[in-house]
Amino acid sequence: MIELKFRIEGGDFDRAGTASSETKKVLKQLNIDPKVVKRMVVALYEAEVNVAAHAWRGEVTVSVKDHQILAVVKDEGPGIADIGRAMLEGFSTASPKVREMGFGAGMGLPNMKKNADELKVESTPDVGTTVTMIFDF
Amino acid sequence: MKIEKIVQLLDAKILCGHHRIHDEISKAFSSDLMSDVLTLDADNILLVSGLANVQLIRTAEVADIHYLVIVRNKKVTKDIIELATKLNIVLIESPFSMFKASGILFANGLDPLF
C-alpha cells in the first residue's frame, strides 16, 4: 500500500493544488489508467480548493491499495451547515476573493461526486468537514 | 491548428513552451471560471482565459490541458511562468479580448469543445 499525506492552510491559494499535483505524479508512476488519474486529481483539487477557500487548515491522505484509491480530505473549519444544499450545482458561500480566482461557482462538491466512484461528506458546524472519496481502477 | 498559427493570429507572444510550437490542436474552450474548466470531459485542448494566476496553471495541470492563451493583455508574473515551464505547459499571452481571440480562432477553423 502507498500512502501520501499533505497539509493545506486555509487561505493559501498559492499552494492549493500541490497535493493534487504530487498525487498525479505518483499515480502516473504506478501506471494507473490516465482516465482514472484525471478523475481522481480533479476531485482532489476541488477538495483542496474548498479547504483553502473555507477552512482554517486541513490534511489530505491518499492511499492506493488493491485497485482502489482512497482520498480523505479532513479540515478544521466552520463546517457545512447544510450538506444537501452544498451538493446542489450553483450553491456557493464562497467569498468574492475566491470568485475572482475563478472558483466559488458552486460546482466543487457536485464535481467531486461526478468524478469519484464513492463520495461521503461529513461535517460538524464550527469543527470541520471530512470528505472521503473512493476511486476504483 | 498549429500553436505557431495561433500565436500569429492572436498577435501573441509565447511565454514558455517554445519547443511545442509545432504541436497541433483541434478544439478550444474559453473561460474565466476554473470551476467550469474542471468539469470538462476532454484533454489536449486549448484554453483561452483572462485569468493570470497560479490557479489557472494548477487547473490546467489537473485537467490535462497543455496549451493556455491568457487574453486581455493581463500581465503574467514570473512565478506563473516558472510553474507552467515546470509542468511543460505552453503559455501564450495575447492583447485581444476573450471574445475577439475566440472569434478569430473559431473563424480560422479551431472547433469549440461543445
ipTM of the complex: 0.91
Work out the number of other CB atoms within 10 angstroms of the CB of residue A103.
Answer: 26
Please answer yes or no on whether B61 and A21 come within 8 Å at the CB atom.
Answer: yes
Please answer yes or no on whether B55 and A21 come within 8 Å at the CB atom.
Answer: no
What's the CATH code, domain B3-112?
3.40.1390.20
Domain locations in chain B as residue ranges: 3-112
Q: Strand order of the sheet with strand A68-76?
A: A2-9, A57-65, A68-76, A128-136, A118-124
Q: Which of residues 51 through 90 in chain A touch B, CB cutoff 8 A?
A: none
Percent of chain A surpassing pLDDT 70: 100
Collapsing DSSP states into helix, strand and coil, what is residue A109? helix
Closest approach of B59 to chain A, Cα-based (Å): 8
Q: In this structure, what C-alpha cell is assigned to residue A116?
A: 469519484
pLDDT at A35: 95
Please check whether residue B102 is in contact with residue B48, taking contact to mean a CB–CB distance below 8 angstroms: yes
Please check whether residue A76 is in contact with residue A55, taking contact to mean a CB–CB distance below 8 angstroms: yes
pLDDT at B75: 86
Please answer yes or no on whether A102 and B35 come within 8 Å at the CB atom.
Answer: yes
Q: Is the CATH number 3.30.70.260 carried by domain A2-136? A: no
Compute mean pLDDT per 10 residues along chain B, 114 residues long, and list them: 98 97 97 94 93 95 97 94 97 98 98 96
Please answer yes or no on whether B38 and A46 come within 8 Å at the CB atom.
Answer: yes
